Structure 1
Amino acid sequence: MSTTKFAVAGATGRLGRHVVDVLTERGHRVVPMSRATGVDIITGDGLAAALTGVEVIIDVASWHGSEQEAATEFFRTSARNLQEAGQKAGVAQITVASIIGVDKATAGFLAAKKVHEELLLSGPLPARVLRAAQFHEFVGQLLDWQQSDVAYIPALPTQLVACRTVAEELVDLATDPGATAPETPIPEIAGPRKETMAEAAQLLGARRGIKVVGVGGSGIPDAEIAANGGFLPSPHAKLAGPTFQEWLDTHP
C-alpha cells in the first residue's frame, strides 16, 4: 500500500485527534500541527519545517469562540498561512472540514467558516471541502457551558454525527485521487437521524442529573434559518452512524 505524508492542522483538537488516528491506522505518515506540537498556523512559527515533504494538508483547526469577527480573523489568517506555506513546501492540496449550511449563514461562527471555505478554495493550492453536521461531542459542551442543574438548550433541528465518522470521511476525501468537478456539490456528512439539539441534550442530561429544557433560538445567529431546516444535510449528503443514542451508549 502506498503511503502519503499528511500534515494535520488542529491535530490535538476534538476532530483532529480522530483524523490523526484514522491516518495512522491506514498506514500514512502524519505530522501533527498544533501549538502543543510547536506549530502555530497563525503566527507561522514552525510551519515551514512541519510541511517539509508533506503532500496533503488536512485543516481541522478551529477558533474556540463563537464571536464572528474574531473567528473570521482566525480563519482568514490560517487560510492564508496554510496556502502560502503549503505552496512553498510543494504541498499538492488542502482538505478542510467545514459545516453544513455555511453557504446560507449570514452571522456568527458559521459566517466565519463561510469566509474560511472561500479563502481556501481561492488557492493557490487546490482545496477540497467536507461539510459536516454538528458533532455528537458538541452536546456535552453545551451542557458544560451552562454549569447548572437546569440547562436551556435550543430546540433547533440537527442531524448530529460522530467525530470519528467525520474523520473517516475527511481522510477518504483527502486520499481520493479523483479531482472533484467544479459543478459537483460540496460533499456533506451527517448522522442517520434528525432530532433537535434539545432532544439529544436531554438524553445526555439524564445521565448527568441535569434537567434540559428546550427553548427557541432567541439570540442565536441565523436561528430562523436553522429552525426552517437550513442547516440540515442536503439530499446528496452521506448519512452515517452511529446515532447519538448509540454513540452515548459507548461513551459512559
Structure 2
Amino acid sequence: MSITKFAVAGATGRLGRHVVDVLAERGHQVVPMSRATGVDIITGEGLAEALTGVEVIIDVASWHASDQEAATEFFRTSARNLHEAGQKAGVARIAMASIIGVDKATAGFVAAKKVHEELLLSGPLPARILRAAQFHEFVGQLLDWQQGDVAYVPALPTQLVACRTVAETLVDLALDPEAPAPGRPIPEIAGPRKETMSEAAQLLGARRGIKVVGVDGSGMPDAEIAANGGFLPSPHAKLAGPSFQEWLDTQP
C-alpha cells in the first residue's frame, strides 16, 4: 500500500478524531488541521504551511450551531479557502462528509450543508462526497442540551451510524484513485437498522437516569420531510454496524 499524505480539516472534532485515527492506523501521514493545531481554515492562518506536500484533503470541519446563515457563511469561506490553498499546494482532491437527505433540505444546518456540497463540487479541485446518517454520538447531544430528569426528543425516523464507521468509509473514498463515474449517485453510509431518534434516546436515557418523551418534532427545520423518511438512506446506501444498542454497550 502506498503512503499518502493527508490533511484533515476539523481534525479535533467528533468525526475528525476518528478520521485521524483511521489514517494513522493505516500508515498514512496525517496533518491535523484545526485552530487547536494552529490552522484556521476560515482566516487562512497556517493553512498554506499545513498543506505543503499534502496529496488529499479530508474536510470534516463543521459549524458549532444550527443557525443556517452563520453555518452557510462558515462553509462558503472554508470551501473557498481549502480549494484556493489546496490548488496552490498541488493537492489532488478533497473528500468531505455530508448528510443523507441534504438535497431535500430547505432550512437550518442541513440546508447550509447542501450549499457546502455545491461549493466544494464547483471548485477547482476534484471533490468527493460521502453522505452519512446522524451519528450515534448525536443522541447524547440531544440529551445534553436539555436540563433535568425529563428530555423531549423528536420521534423522527433515523438510521444512526457510528462515527468510526463513517470515518473508515470516508477514508476509503478519499483513497480511491478512480474518479466517481458521471451520473452515479453520491455514496451514503448509514447504520444497520431504522429506529426513531426518541427510541435511541430512551436507551441512553435509561443509563443516565433521564426519562425520554418522544415528541412530533414540529418546529424543527424540515420536520415534515424527516417524518416522511426524507433523511433515511437511499437504496444504494452502504449499511454498516454497530447498531446504536451495540455501540452503547461499548461506551463507558
State the TM-score, normalized to the length of structure 2.
0.99
Q: Which residue of 2 aligns with 1:51?
A: 51
Q: Which residue of 2 aligns with 1:233?
A: 233
Q: Which residue of 2 aligns with 1:7?
A: 7
Q: Which residue of 1 aligns with 2:200?
A: 200
Q: Tell me the distance in 2 between the aligned counterparts of 1:68 and 1:122.
A: 21
Structure 2 residues without counterparts, runs of 5 or longer: none
Tell me by how many angstroms 1:132 deviates: 0.1
Q: Which residue of 2 aligns with 1:81?
A: 81
Where in structure 2 are the equivalents of 1:20-39 lying within 5 Å?
A: 20-39=20-39
2:14 is paired with a residue whose SS is coil
Q: Which residue of 1 aligns with 2:167?
A: 167
Q: Tell me the distance in 2 between the aligned counterparts of 1:124 and 1:107.
A: 27
* Structure 1 counterpart of 2:128, one-letter code: R
Where in structure 2 are the equivalents of 1:104-123 lying within 5 Å?
A: 104-123=104-123
Q: Tell me the distance in 1 between the aligned counterparts of 2:105 and 2:206.
A: 32
Q: Please list the CA deviations of residues 192-249 of structure 1 after superposition, one character each: whole Å capped at 9, or x if unmatched.
A: 0100000000000000000000001111000000000000000000000000000000
* Structure 2 counterpart of 1:210, one-letter code: I
* Structure 2 counterpart of 1:83, one-letter code: H
Tell me by how many angstroms 1:120 deviates: 0.1
Q: Please list the CA deviations of residues 69-109 of structure 1 after superposition, one character each: whole Å capped at 9, or x if unmatched.
A: 00000000000000000000000000000000000000000
Whether the 8 Å contact between 2:80 and 2:123 is mirrored in structure 1 is no
1:11 is paired with a residue whose SS is coil
2:77 is paired with a residue whose SS is helix
Q: Which residue of 1 aligns with 2:157?
A: 157
2:31 is paired with a residue whose SS is strand
1:15 is paired with a residue whose SS is helix
Moved over 2 A (4+): none
Structure 1 residues without counterparts, runs of 5 or longer: none
* Structure 1 counterpart of 2:197, one-letter code: M
Q: Tell me the distance in 1 between the aligned counterparts of 2:66 and 2:194.
A: 24
Q: Please list the CA deviations of residues 132-157 of structure 1 after superposition, one character each: whole Å capped at 9, or x if unmatched.
A: 00000000000000022100000000
Q: Tell me the distance in 2 between the aligned counterparts of 1:118 and 1:128.
A: 11
2:177 is paired with a residue whose SS is coil
Matched, 1:144 2:144: yes
Q: Tell me the distance in 1 between the aligned counterparts of 2:185 and 2:130.
A: 10
Tell me by how many angstroms 1:38 deviates: 0.1
